[in-house]
Amino acid sequence: MTIFDIPVKTLSGEESSLAAYAQNPVLIVNVASKCGLTPQYEGLEKLQKNYAARGFTVVGFPCNQFMGQEPGTAEEIQTFCSTTYGVTFPLFEKIDVNGENQHPIYAELTKSADAEGHTGEIRWNFEKFLISPDGSIRRFAPQVEPEDPILVAAIEAALS
């Protein structure tokens, strides 16, 4: 079983998985609407628009585990993201990325190390995981902006 086979629910509560994205690069991000890093939605949407035609997608998982920064309902999250940042990339159900109720996708993702060697628990909202078509995973700290040349180069490499 891969990350793409793990059951998830869409933001509207429908059963799903990430299987539709398995052959292309995917950037999985734990997102929040009331965080100092929330403006990263704008950059994530730019990545989506710039690379969607080449098969890339951003996938957001709202999470309320960091100082209650995603308290909204699914409908509130969808409305905020679409009206404030014009988000078109898929958002899935609000989940736990750490702890006893950690979602299985994040149990897999957090095994990967970032550039500083950090593995394990998610440190904050907007931690990013780039999954290449070959299944390799690159982890990026929350402070790495979507427009960061290192992240953009990694996406470009995954697309080639």
Active site residues: 35
| Rounded distance between C-alpha atoms, residue 113 and residue 129, angstroms | 10
Query: Are 97 and 61 contacting, i.e. CB atoms less than 8 angstroms apart?
Result: yes
| Rounded distance between C-alpha atoms, residue 136 and residue 148, angstroms | 20
| Rounded distance between C-alpha atoms, residue 142 and residue 146, angstroms | 10
| Rounded distance between C-alpha atoms, residue 131 and residue 134, angstroms | 8
- The three-point CA angle 8-35-145 to 5° equals 80
DSSP letter, residue 93: -
Query: Are 53 and 43 contacting, i.e. CB atoms less than 8 angstroms apart?
Result: no
| Rounded distance between C-alpha atoms, residue 107 and residue 17, angstroms | 15
